[in-house]
Amino acid sequence: MPELPEVEAARRAIEENCLGKKIKKAIVANDSKVIEGVSASDFQSSLLDKTIVSAHRKGKNLWLHLDSPPFPSFQFGMAGAIYIKGVAVTTYKRSAVKDNDEWPSKYSKFFVELDDGLELSFTDKRRFARVRLLKDPTSVPPISELGPDALFEPMTVDEFTESLSKKKIAIKALLLDQSYISGIGNWIADEVLYQARIHPLQISSSLSKENCATLHKCIKEVIEKAVEVGADSSQFPSNWIFHSREKKPGKALVDGKIIDFINAGGRTSAYVPELQKLSGTQATKAAGKPRKQTSKSKGGKDEDNDEDDEGDGPTSEEKETTKTSKSKKGGNTRGRGKKPPMKRKSKESDDDNSGGNDDDSSEDDDEDPKEKAGKVKSKTNTSNKQAKTAKTSEQTVSNRNSKKLKKRVK
């Protein structure tokens, strides 16, 4: 999914190919889920004859500065991507456009043609991205709520160490929090923690100064390397956990060591148990508890990754995405503590039944004990009455038959 390096690659492609050029044509998709707060027609008209002055990024958000406001802003979500026709821009697994696809793509949400004929498109196959038209993108959410950019505004080692000492949450969850540091997503968090040999669930405030310094160094090195190669994962160092983090458990290895998967920060997290160990009191507590392993789908893919947009832990959009996903699926029809649906008896079993009704007993399990006792007593009384009635009827028939026999004998 697009994280800081992927969005930075898109920003640099725009900066290198589109600045100083005027927008002569604009097509904005009529998709109110992605195009937020403005109609497609108003968006289009606001772009025409505007010149692209610069391209900016913070975290995983990008916006174009035109010669006058408002400005288009892009929040990439799970599969958002920038394409420039005829220009190589980094692609990734969930992006939509291939070289032999139609142009602009059917997944295009924002398309402009510049005065020199160059064409730019923002696509989103999964529809978790957001495209906005804003007077000042930095003054409103989500950009106004972001923490310092991991590439452009890095903390010093001392600032980083001091801030971690005050955080009582797991380090993986903290790195995913965009209000703390913006731009780090799931794969970068896994990578920097692996490189620093820190367990994803280690409480941030428990990290030693040495751990903090090492992690600070790894964040810088991983992000700078990914940006240097234009976010082209085929050029990432071979000793990165990145290359194996989506393989099946048991088959995922890095430098010959087994990669395991747990849930950390609300996300499936890849780590190497042999090298990334819990320390201090957490290690003692963990020794007495069975470890829960996060399941992965048949293809080895992270199942929960498909249910969030930014993939950044405690962000408002992720919560929104989770709610949307649950409502579409209809929620959990069998909550904890609920009984499974009762099995209906076949006609044959009804005819042969002589041991009571199983359905009744199942329903009775949810009843108040007093009401249940009353029903049992009522059923018993009814049965006794039926038995007495049947006995009386049998005696009457017997007496009649006896009288008939006597008459015949006479």
Residues with catalytic annotation? 2-3, 60
Q: Which two tokens stand for residue 402?
A: 């006896």
Q: In sequence order, what DSSP letters do the residues of 93-121 get, joined into one string?
A: TT----TTS-SS-TTEEEEEEETTS-EEE
Buried b (16+ CB within 10 A) or exposed e, 77-91: bbbbbbbbeeeebbb
CA 82 to chain CA centroid, Å, is 22
Q: In sequence order, what DSSP letters do the residues of 2-25 get, joined into one string?
A: --HHHHHHHHHHHHHHTTT-BEEE
Q: What H or E segment, with its residue span, contains residue 352?
A: helix 347-352
CA 99 to chain CA centroid, Å, is 29
Secondary structure (3-state) at 134: strand
Nearest to 17 by CA among 59, 56, 55, 63: 55
Q: What H or E segment, with its residue span, contains residue 260?
A: strand 260-264
Q: In sequence order, what DSSP letters do the residues of 224-242 get, joined into one string?
A: HHHHHTTT-GGGS-TT-GG
Under 8 Å between Cβ of 238 and 210: no
What is the rounded CA–CA span in Å between residue 80 and residue 71? 18
